Amino acid sequence: MKRVVAGSHVHAETKTSFRYEAHWHVEGRLLTWKAQVSLPGRLWSLAGGTPEWTGGNEVKAVREDIARSIDGLQA
């Protein structure tokens, strides 16, 4: 199963708003994602996943994982 989600996240410390578009794939118990995260004039590529995925709300899991990754960025 492959899906796409777009959204935004406000950085926990800097309060900077980032936009992103993520593509993810679920294969068995493996959930992986790749995202393009952007600010005007800047672009990051991020990736992550959960090797022991047990199913459920993929959108929520991907958004939470991207949010954690964005919070690690320096704006």
Half-sphere exposure in the Cβ direction for 59 (13 Å, CA): 4
pLDDT of residue 75: 65
pLDDT over 90 at 55, yes or no: no
Q: What does the pLDDT read at residue 2?
A: 80
Give 7-54 pLDDT, tens digit per residue.
Answer: 999 999 999 999 999 999 998 889 999 999 999 899 999 999 988 888
CA torsion sign for 53, 57, 62, 67 is negative
For residue 66, pLDDT beyond 70: yes
Q: pLDDT per residue over 4-15, tens digit each? A: 999 999 999 999
| Domains of the chain, each with CATH number or no CATH | 2-71 (2.20.25)
